[in-house]
């Protein structure tokens, strides 16, 4: 909590220097993939808290991918979380959790998010699990090869927005020069 407060104070201090003051949000500059270095978003912090409580869960890098080139009003943002389960998936990069949302620009520091989908993909199983499914000393069966192929191409997606139910969020963007 003390560290978080200190970081938020530092962000406010830098932004008070007026970097980009008066200028609209530059979506062309925002477009691309950004590594998340700090957040106060409870939904992201929850992942790290789960990793602390569940010793086999590993949370790796988190990225935000903005797709808004050529737009002035918004675009799509995807939160990309690399994660793993010890001994089942490759370390730190064993799978990807992706949360997709449309966003609209409200001001130079505020965007409005409308969440659309959550997906799990890019499963990379560990060598231990691969050896269990298809041992190297035995001939690989059709079934074991099918299981390995299924895991490599697996993608589960769940829409989290529908005409009857929409999940929205207003967030503040903070950029350090």
Q: Is residue 129 part of a domain?
A: no
Q: Is residue 147 part of a domain?
A: no
Q: Is residue 134 part of a domain?
A: no
Q: Is residue 35 part of a domain?
A: yes
Whole domain around residue 6: which residue ranges? 2-123+156-172
pLDDT in tens, 138-147: 777 888 889 9
Distance CA 103, CA 111 (A): 6
Q: Is residue 50 part of a domain?
A: yes
**Which has more pLDDT, 14 or 71?**
71
Asked if 60 and 84 count as a contact pair (C-beta separation under 8 A), the reply is yes
Q: Is residue 161 part of a domain?
A: yes
Averaged pLDDT, 107-126:
89
Q: Is residue 105 part of a domain?
A: yes
Q: Residue 176: its pLDDT value, please?
A: 46
Q: Is residue 135 part of a domain?
A: no
pLDDT in tens, 75-102: 999 999 999 999 999 998 899 999 999 9
Structure tokens at 114: 């409308």
- Domain count for the chain: 1
């Amino acid at each position: 909590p003390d560290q978080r407060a200190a970081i938020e104070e530092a962000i406010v201090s830098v932004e008070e220097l007026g970097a980009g003051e008066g200028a609209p949000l530059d979506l062309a500059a925002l477009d691309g993939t950004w590594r998340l270095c700090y957040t106060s978003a409870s939904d992201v912090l929850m992942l790290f808290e789960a990793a602390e409580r569940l010793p086999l869960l590993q949370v790796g890098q988190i990225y935000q991918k903005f797709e808004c080139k050529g737009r002035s009003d918004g675009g799509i943002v995807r939160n990309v979380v690399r994660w793993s389960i010890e001994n089942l998936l490759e370390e730190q990069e064993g799978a990807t959790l992706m949360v997709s949302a449309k966003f609209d620009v409200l001001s130079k520091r505020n965007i409005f998010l409308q969440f659309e989908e959550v997906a799990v993909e890019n499963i990379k199983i560990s060598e231990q699990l691969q050896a269990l499914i298809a041992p190297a000393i035995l001939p690989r069966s059709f079934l074991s090869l099918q299981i390995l192929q299924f895991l490599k191409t697996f993608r589960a997606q769940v829409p989290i927005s529908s005409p009857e139910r929409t999940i929205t969020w207003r967030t503040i963007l903070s950029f350090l020069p």
